[in-house]
Structure formats: structure tokens, C-alpha cells
């Protein structure tokens, strides 16, 4: 069987399993999650052994240390996976909920029912825990799943897939409800993203390079975000007791996350006060500041200071580097954001009521905040209970995507024999 | 300027105008709608003259009579356009609504704000009234619009576009908030559907041929439906007082609409009673029945009877023709629907509570009905107030699409200085 025939078979099996997954009741889907959690716990030694084979292969292939780190499945990571599955059981079932049933003048009653999307394809690199997290979210939301993990994690993913399939079957669900693409052939990804007849949506989890490659070829819609060039704007009427901790937290809490601030905008009226005080905080973390001429002058003497160039406004550093710009006020701040933001998350710090409302309304990003750190843009912090990914697109799901993003609303009509006249 | 440069300019102007359209308040957008309505009324003679030029050109080019009919803009059609705009004013403003604001344990309050998508591209054929209807819906929902009408309606569309631009400007909105693609060059469509940097979504309104062509090339997402192969299933426990009128209405109310029934499924237990009685109704309209062998036997003697072939189950007739099949029961009915439906609209006729619930839950179509005619699958009948199109896709909007389908939800966060720990 060549790779296209194999993927065709995986797709057909997923589509076929999706009907049973969709109609399974809440208790059955929750039972599957609990059975999988128990089996992961029971087989943790086996999983560690499989992971060790991947780690050994990675070492002899000379993989980058960062990649090896992501590949490792520690006993703590296994325990977290198990806990994650058990927490999903406690989440409300999104499926079957009927909302807004209203009588119409014709006599029919019309509303919407939340239903699974059908088949979800997940494409990810290294981290084997995604296999179980993503499978769990798709089971909870009544979808069938095709998981394409990184080839470097193949042994661990195979072991996890066997556990998941066993749990599904013990719960009375089809074993093909969750499948892994069991090949290291890279052509499998190309096939997966061009099978709209079998796959309803692709959720890619990985770096910008992966997403850009997929975007060029995919004919299946994706829930994705390319990058996070997030801004904090400190308004002239900001409370510095809030502005300084927020600007420090948004940059320094974690450097490698997509909701980390990459550009700081400061209103001219307050910049001479704010920037030197912020510099003292950033200096403790040796954060490099790439400043426009006006900010550069106000930061004179800062040990990690550089001149910002055009490219800095477009860069997601994912590192202790921050672009800094002085702006006239909210208008110029919003113009800058409109031009350079990746539409992920932006925050204003202000005590000005009208400025806060304008920023909330007019900034066109997935998350817009007043007086809070951009680091809050996260499914768990927002109360979604879980996160399958983040979307920077405007259609379907936008921002952190939880279980609802894996569902769709269909219209349901309760009639009493009505005909249209 | 070549066609790509021209479309690039149109796109850039739309993107630029979209910011002003998005932040305009409710009163301003409504004022624009009223000014346009007044101007269409005032200039109706001018519009009729422009339409006459299109009709003359169509006549000398030998256009098909059906096309010429769709091209005609009668005084009644003009009055309907005007009334449509005034009704849109009365609809609630979808923009800016904030929902589900909830406090989180961190102290932030998180909810979602409904915002415009940005720039909507509408591609349509003939009917010049779409120019004003679509422009109105996009203005109401705070979007900028690029309209690409059929080249055969170019004179009328130019006159309408001038009226719309004037109304926008008088209301204080950018004239480029609504633009028509003012060229008959067909390459303009190819450019429009491949400018994701300028266009957020395409709504194609037209026949299956148009949609299929666009699907092959578009890189901008579309709100679309290809066809409507809708089913009615008459269950063994159907009330015939409901089943007969519904099956007649779903087929014969209008033949050319996408929510018209194309295949009738009848439970074996009730088929010998139902089919002969239905045949009497269909005979009054000379409906051709293409029956599977079992139904064929029960319909013996019907004057417009034919044997169904495989292709019939996949055909949207848009004509007084109906495919008919006898099934064992709900299971076989749902299997048939799963295999052949275009996932537009399906109905069950039954008094059986459990069968009704199963059908509602398990049939994976945009609209699923119990004891009502499929003809109700319509934005106005559903109470959306207006309809920009119908979607058979599962992502974003599904089923009849009203103003909400032209919007997106962004997360908004009210903070009080919170940082993430």
C-alpha cells in the first residue's frame, strides 16, 4: 500500500467512525476518557520505555537539545496527561445543547443544536503528550481524530495510540475514533491536509515554519495562528502601579509564548516617567530594548539598548528582547497596532474611560485587554477548561480555542405539520 | 492600469475603509441605509434607464430568456429594494454586543465582543438588486464591501454604486466602504478570490457552476453552498394529515430553490398507504416520480413514473421531478441521507418521540426538521431578519446566514492591573 492509499484508508475509517462518535452519549464519551486515563497510569512504565527508544534515536540522530527536551515524557508529564483527561470528564458536554428555540409566526419553532465537526486532523511536532491531550478533547467533543505527530516520537505515539484505541473499544466506541498516522513518510501530511472529503478541520500545533508550509497547500480549513506580535500601549492616563507590573509581566513572565508582548508603545506625555522606571525592571532580566529615537533618548545609559529598525516592529522575538516606541497618544498607538500586529493580543493600560472603550472596540485582534497582562490570553485563564489551539483567523473560532471550537451549530426545527405558503 | 493593479487598488481601498466602517456607530450606519433608500427611490427613473441599456445589450447579445428575466429591474423590484433597506434599519445592531463577561479566579473579567469581519467580497450574476441588498447588509454589520456583479448588469450596477457611495459620504462614512468592481474583465474575479490580505470572506451567489469554479481557485474563505439535495423521510408512525401536505409542499411550493425536496424516503410499513395518496397530489402538478423498484410497484399506473437509477439519488432536479425510495425504517433512511445528502436540509415526519430525537441529533445537515416542510430553511423564516446567503459548510456560519455570519467574536478582557503568576 503506498502512502496515498494508506492515508485514504485512514481518512475513510475516520469518516466512518465519526458517525458513532457523534451520536455517542455523554456517559459513553466520559467513560472512554476515564478508561484511557486509567490505562495511561497503568502502562506508565511501558510508555517511559517507548519514550526512551525515541530519545535514544534522537540522541544518535543528533537532534537539537530543545527538540529532545520537548520529546521527553517524564513521569510528571504522564501524571499531568492523566489528570488532564480526568479534568475533561468534569467539563460540561458541549454536544447536543439546543439554544434559542423560538416560535416563528409560521408556527415552527427554530433553534440551534451544537454538534461535532466530524473529523479533526491534528499535526504536531515532538511533544508526545499532545497525542493524549488532543485525542481527549476530540473524544469529549464527539469528533473522530487523525493524529500526525512528529516522526521523532513515533514509538511513544504508537504506544499511546494503542492505549487510546483500547479505551475507546472498552467504552463501546469505534477503535478508529482516534487514529495515529503510523508512518514517518512526510508525504502523509500533504495527503492529510488535502482530504476535505474525510477531514473537516486541521489543527496544526507547531512553529511558524510548519504553519506556513501547511497554509500553502491545505485545502482543508485550519484552526491556526502564525505568530504573536502582541502590543502593550501605556496611555498618558495610565496608573503606573498597574502599568509597570503589566509591562514587565507581559514581556518577562515567559519569553517563548505567543501571548508575550513584543512591542511596547508609550504615550509621549508619560514616557519620560515610565521608560526609566521600566528600564530598572527590565535590567534585572537583561532584556534588550530596541528603541525608536525618542525612546532611545529617554533610555540613554540603559546597558542593553539598541536602535529599532523597521524590521523590529514586525518581529516576534520569543526572547528577552523588546521593541519600544513613543507615540503621541491612542490614535497613533492604534495605527501602529493596525499596521504591525499579528492580531493576536493587545492591551491598553489606562484610567481613561473613553480611551479604554475606544481601544476595546477599535483594535481588531483576537484578544483586546484593558489593564491586564497579555499573558492572560489563554484557554485556561479564559475559563474554557481546555485549549486545543489558538486562532488568529476571524472565521469560526477566534482567540484561544476550547471544546466549542471543535463543534458547529446546526439549525433544528420543531414543526407541527407546517407547510410554507 | 492592468486588471491586477486595479484589483489591488480596490482591495487596498476596501481594507482602508473597513476601519472607519467598523468603528462607525449604530446611528451613522443606519443613517447611511436610509439615505441610500431615499436616493434609490428618488433616482428610480435613472435606474430604470440604466437597466434598459443592460436589457438592450442583453437582447442584442442573444442572452438566454431566463438570464434576461433575472436582469430586469422592474419598478416593483426597485420598491422592494427600498423597503429592504428600511427594514434593515429596524434590525438590532449586531456590532459591539458584549456577551458572557465573567470574572475569573485571577481577577480579570473575560467575555466576547461581536465585531465586523472586515471586508466582504460578493460575487453574483445578473440580478442587480443584489447590489443594494448585499451592500445594505454589509453596511449594517460594519463591513466594507467589494461587489462583483455580472458584466451583463454593468450599467445598472454602476448607477446603484454611485447612489450607495453618495449615501455613505452623506452619512460621514468613506465612499470606498462599498465598491463595485467596475470592469467586465473576468480576471477580476480571479484576483478578488485570491487577495486574503484585503478580503476576509467571499460570499458567492449563483449557480453550482460558479461556485465550483470559485472553490478551485479561492484562497479567501467562502460562505457558500453548492447544492441542495434535501430529503423528507416519512416514518412508519407519521401522521398522514401532516405527511401528505409536507411532502407535497416540500416538492411543489417552488421547484427552483435549494431547500426544495429532491428525494422522498418512505418507511415500508406505511408506503402502501402513503404513496398512492401522495401520487394523487403530485399528479395535479405533473410531477415525474423516479422510483426504486419497491416504490415503483406501489405507484403502478401513475402517469409520470420512471425507474430511479443511482444518479437520481445524487441529483438536484430543480424541476417537477422527485426521486422516491422505500426504506425499512429510520436507520436505513439516515444511512441513505448520510450517503447522498448535500447536508442542506432534511426533515422527518413522525409522531414517534424517540425517532424524532434521533433524527434531530444524528442527521448531519445544516437544517434538520421534524414535521415541517424543508422549504422553511430560509433566513427570513428562521427570524434572522435578512439573508446574505446559505452555508453548507460546518465552520463559521451554517445554514441560512444573516448579519451574524458577517461578524466575528473577539475576546475582551477588563482588568484591574492583573498580571499572570
A89-136 pLDDT, tens digit per residue, is: 999 999 999 999 999 999 999 999 999 999 999 999 878 989 999 999
Tell me: pLDDT of A68 over 90: no
Q: Check CB contact under 8 Å for B408 and A417.
A: no
Q: How confident is the model at residue A408 (pLDDT cuts 50, 70, 90)?
A: very high
- For residue B216, pLDDT over 90 is answered with no
Is pTM beyond 0.90? Reply is: yes
This model of the complex carries an ipTM of 0.94
Class in CATH terms, A230-381:
alpha beta
Confidence of residue B269 (pLDDT cuts 50, 70, 90): very high
pLDDT above 70 coverage of chain B, percent: 100
Going by C-alpha positions, the residue among A61, A296, B182 that lies closest to residue A288 is: A296
Q: What is the pLDDT of residue A92?
A: 95
Judge whether A20 is closer than 8 Å to chain B, CB to CB. no
The predicted pLDDT at position B341 comes to 96
Q: What is the pLDDT of residue A368?
A: 98
Check CB contact of B411 with chain A, cutoff 8 Å.
Answer: yes
Per-residue pLDDT tens digits for B150-162: 889 999 999 999 9
> Is A385's pLDDT higher than 90?
no
Instruction: State the pLDDT confidence band at B323, using cuts at 50, 70 and 90.
Output: very high
Which pLDDT value is given to residue B64?
86
Question: How far is the CA of B176 from the CAs of A233, A311, A404, B95, in angstroms?
Answer: 30, 31, 36, 20
Q: Compute the average pLDDT of residues A251-273.
A: 97
Which residues 244-303 on chain A approach chain B with CB closer than 8 angstroms? 245-246, 248-250, 253
* Every domain range in chain A assigned CATH 3.40.309.10: 230-381
Q: Name the residue among B246, B377, B395 with its Cβ closest to that of A419.
A: B246
- Model confidence at B117, pLDDT cuts 50, 70, 90, reads very high
| Pairing mode of beta strands A109-116, A261-267 | unpaired
What does each C-alpha distance from B392 to A100, B29, B115, B227 come to in angstroms? 21, 30, 23, 8
Averaged confidence pLDDT in chain A: 95
Q: What is the pLDDT of residues A215-227, one digit of tens each?
A: 888 989 999 988 8
> What pLDDT is stored for residue B50 in this prediction?
96
| Residue B289: pLDDT over 90 | yes
Residues A315-331 have pLDDT tens digits of 999 999 999 999 999 99
Return the CATH fold of A3-223+400-413.
Aldehyde Dehydrogenase; Chain A, domain 1 (3.40.605)
Q: Where in chain B is the domain with CATH 3.40.605.10?
A: 3-223+400-413
Hey, how many other C-beta atoms are within 10 angstroms of the C-beta on B64? 9
B373 near A CB under 8 A = yes
Q: Which residue of B has its CA nearest to A338?
A: B19
CB of B201 within 8 Å of a chain A CB? The answer is: yes
Dist CA B401 CA A232 (whole Å):
36
Residue B206: per-residue pLDDT = 82
Torsion of CA B40, B42, B44, B46, to 10 degrees: -110
Q: Span B352-380, mean pLDDT? A: 97
Model confidence at B68, in pLDDT bands (50, 70, 90)? confident
The pairing of beta strand B389-391 with beta strand B399-401: antiparallel
The answer to whether residue B126 scores a pLDDT higher than 80 is: no
Chain B residues closer than 8 Å to A411 by CB? 366-368, 377, 382, 398-400
The per-residue pLDDT for B1 is 83
Taking only the tens place, the pLDDT of each residue in B90-107 is: 999 999 999 999 999 999
- Predicted local distance difference test score (pLDDT) of residue A208: 85
> CB of B43 within 8 Å of any CB in chain A?
no
Q: How many residues does chain A have?
A: 421
B228 touches chain A (CB under 8 A): no
- Distance separating alpha carbons of residues B173 and B256, to the nearest angstrom: 38
Q: Nearest Cα to B125, choosing from B157, B160, B97?
A: B157
Amino acid at each position: 500500500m503506498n502512502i496515498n492509499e494508506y492515508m485514504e484508508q485512514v481518512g475513510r475509517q475516520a469518516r466512518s467512525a465519526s458517525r458513532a462518535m457523534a451520536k455517542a452519549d455523554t456517559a459513553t464519551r466520559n467513560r472512554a476518557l476515564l478508561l484511557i486515563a486509567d490505562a495511561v497510569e497503568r502502562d506508565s512504565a511501558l510508555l517511559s520505555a517507548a519514550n526512551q527508544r525515541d530519545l535514544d534515536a534522537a540522541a544518535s540522530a543528533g537532534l537539537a537539545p530543545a527538540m529532545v527536551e520537548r520529546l521527553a515524557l517524564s513521569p510528571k508529564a504522564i501524571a499531568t496527561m492523566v489528570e488532564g483527561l480526568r479534568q475533561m470528564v468534569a467539563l460540561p458536554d458541549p454536544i447536543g445543547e439546543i439554544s434559542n428555540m423560538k416560535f416563528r409566526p409560521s408556527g415552527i419553532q427554530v433553534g440551534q443544536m451544537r454538534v461535532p465537526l466530524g473529523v479533526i486532523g491534528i499535526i504536531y511536532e515532538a511533544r508526545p503528550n499532545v497525542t493524549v491531550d488532543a485525542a481527549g478533547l476530540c473524544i469529549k467533543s464527539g469528533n473522530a481524530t487523525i493524529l500526525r505527530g512528529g516522526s521523532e516520537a513515533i514509538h511513544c505515539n504508537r504506544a499511546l495510540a494503542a492505549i487510546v484505541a483500547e479505551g475507546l473499544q472498552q467504552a463501546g466506541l469505534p477503535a478508529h475514533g482516534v487514529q495515529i498516522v503510523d508512518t514517518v513518510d512526510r508525504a502523509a501530511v500533504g495527503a492529510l491536509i488535502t482530504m476535505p472529503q474525510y477531514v473537516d478541520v486541521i489543527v496544526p500545533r507547531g512553529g511558524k515554519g510548519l504553519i506556513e508550509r501547511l497554509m500553502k497547500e491545505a485545502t482543508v480549513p485550519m484552526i491556526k495562528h502564525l505568530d504573536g506580535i502582541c502590543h502593550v500601549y501605556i496611555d498618558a492616563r495610565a496608573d503606573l502601579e498597574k502599568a509597570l507590573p503589566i509591562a514587565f509581566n507581559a514581556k518577562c513572565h515567559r519569553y517563548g509564548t505567543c501571548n508575550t508582548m513584543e512591542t511596547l508603545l508609550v504615550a509621549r506625555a508619560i514616557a519620560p516617567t515610565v521608560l526609566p522606571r521600566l528600564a530598572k525592571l527590565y535590567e534585572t532580566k537583561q532584556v534588550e530594548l530596541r528603541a525608536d529615537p525618542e525612546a532611545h533618548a529617554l533610555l540613554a545609559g540603559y546597558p542593553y539598548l539598541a536602535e529599532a529598525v523597521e524590521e523590529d516592529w514586525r518581529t516576534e522575538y520569543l526572547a528577552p528582547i523588546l521593541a519600544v516606541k513613543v507615540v503621541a497618544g491612542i490614535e497613533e498607538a492604534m495605527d501602529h497596532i493596525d499596521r504591525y500586529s499579528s492580531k493576536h493580543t493587545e492591551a491598553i493600560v489606562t484610567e481613561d474611560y473613553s480611551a479604554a472603550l475606544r481601544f476595546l472596540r477599535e483594535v481588531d485582534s483576537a484578544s483586546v485587554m484593558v489593564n491586564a497582562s497579555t499573558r492572560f490570553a489563554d484557554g485556561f485563564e479564559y475559563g474554557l477548561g481546555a485549549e486545543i489551539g489558538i486562532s488568529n483567523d476571524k472565521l469560526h473560532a477566534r482567540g484561544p480555542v476550547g471544546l466549542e471550537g471543535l463543534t458547529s451549530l446546526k439549525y433544528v426545527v420543531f414543526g407541527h405539520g407546517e407547510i410554507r405558503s
